Structure 1
């Protein structure tokens, strides 16, 4: 599913995304793919989400 980064805290590597359906979801550092060093608000990402929330985030390369 596609989403847009709404907020990102570099020190904790956590933040929130807004899905294309309008849902705001929080994520923690464990969900970031290894190639992600930094995210910026407004950046488009691909997320995996389940009942527990965001389970993975990757950049569109």
Structure 2
């Protein structure tokens, strides 16, 4: 791919894509509630908490795959 003419973008440059959608906000709120409650329970039960960033990303991708 030495030539720029060979490159075909998946999304055209003239297409405007929304960065913040209702779906993203709802999934974010849902995951914040679920993972926050799980983290609080684990903190109270075991005396330690874990970072919920990676499980949150995995769950978000799993939830959004059908869309």
Give the TM interval when normalised to the shorter protein.
Answer: under 0.3
Relative to total residues, which structure has the larger strand share, 1 or 2? 1
TM-score w.r.t. the length of structure 2 is 0.19
Relative to total residues, which structure has the larger helix share, 1 or 2? 2
TM-score w.r.t. the length of structure 1 is 0.20
